[in-house]
Amino acid sequence: MLKVLNLYAGLGGNRKSWTNVQVTAVEMDAEIASIYKENFPQDEVIVGDAHAYLLAHYREFDFIWSSPPCPSHSRIRQMASKKGDYKEVYPDLKLYEEIIFLQGFCGVPWVVENVRAYYTPLIKPRELHRHWFWANFPLSDFKTEHDVIIKQVSSSTEVFGFSLKGKKLSKRKDQILRNCVNPALGLHILECAFKKKQQVLTTTDEAKASGVETLRTPPTTEVVGIRAGDIL
């Protein structure tokens, strides 16, 4: 079974359509982590620092997905800060720390996801469906007819099958729901990582029984969308 590390897991939108996977999810917010566990009881859920967990455990997985916090990069947050609605903050460069670290050390397929930033990215991403992605495997185009209009999401909205109705949370429910990645996009990214749907283990369960080994599709050696001149 494919061992997946799901960092900054949130409610698990990216993970919802994955099957035949053994997922370790890391989420700092204990309330959100509890809801994730309700939705995915089979997953191991760790309440803690995803950035630190990546550094300590990246060798233990077959696929890594990281979605570092986006507010400090967000165009919406920047515009609201200019109006005085939010305090100005520096962009959190842990995003780029993870990209550079994974590029230099990680030998399995990995992807880092974030919002389209208000600034020119320090490392060129691949844009898919309003998101920016950095990965060490090719990402094909993605389209879907089933989507959520972010501006219409409220605390009572059901998003991709996730609902927070009746939940008492310290954070705004609409913001938590808006952070959900479309599950179809999450599945698309996983399939891109291995070219064939989740046929990724060096030896599958069936192969173990028959004694026949199946080779894993190796990741590319370059980060998608990045050339030497793209790092400013």
* pLDDT at residue 201, rounded to an integer: 45
58: containing domain: 2-147+180-230
Does residue 167 lie within any of the structural domains?
no
* pLDDT at residue 229, rounded to an integer: 37
Q: What does each C-alpha distance from 154 to 15, 80, 130, 172 come to in angstroms?
A: 22, 18, 19, 9
The residue that leads in pLDDT, 17 or 201, is: 17
Does residue 48 lie within any of the structural domains?
yes
Q: What does each C-alpha distance from 14 to 21, 64, 77, 228 come to in angstroms?
A: 13, 12, 23, 30
Does residue 13 lie within any of the structural domains?
yes
Would the pLDDT of 163 be above 80? Answer: yes
* pLDDT at residue 139, rounded to an integer: 95
- The answer for residues whose C-beta is within 8 angstroms of residue 23's C-beta and 6 or more apart is 4, 5, 6, 15, 40, 42, 43, 44
* SS3 label, residue 206: helix
Does residue 156 lie within any of the structural domains?
no
The residue that leads in pLDDT, 180 or 100, is: 100
Does residue 41 lie within any of the structural domains?
yes
Least confident of 182-186, 191-195, 198-202: 198-202
pTM of this prediction exceeds 0.85: no
Give the chain's domain count: 1
The residue that leads in pLDDT, 230 or 106, is: 106
- Please name the residue that has the structure tokens 């927070």: 164
* pLDDT at residue 77, rounded to an integer: 54
Does residue 115 lie within any of the structural domains?
yes
Please give the radius of gyration of the chain, using alpha carbons only, rounded to the nearest integer.
18
Does residue 220 lie within any of the structural domains?
yes
Per-residue pLDDT tens digits for 35-74: 999 999 999 999 999 999 999 999 999 999 999 987 665 7
Does residue 218 lie within any of the structural domains?
yes
In this prediction, residue 20 has a pLDDT band, given cuts at 50, 70 and 90, of very high
CATH code of 92's domain: 3.40.50.150
What is the pLDDT averaged over residues 132-155?
79
* SS3 label, residue 19: coil
- The answer for residues whose C-beta is within 8 angstroms of residue 36's C-beta and 6 or more apart is 9, 10, 11, 12, 25, 27, 43, 45
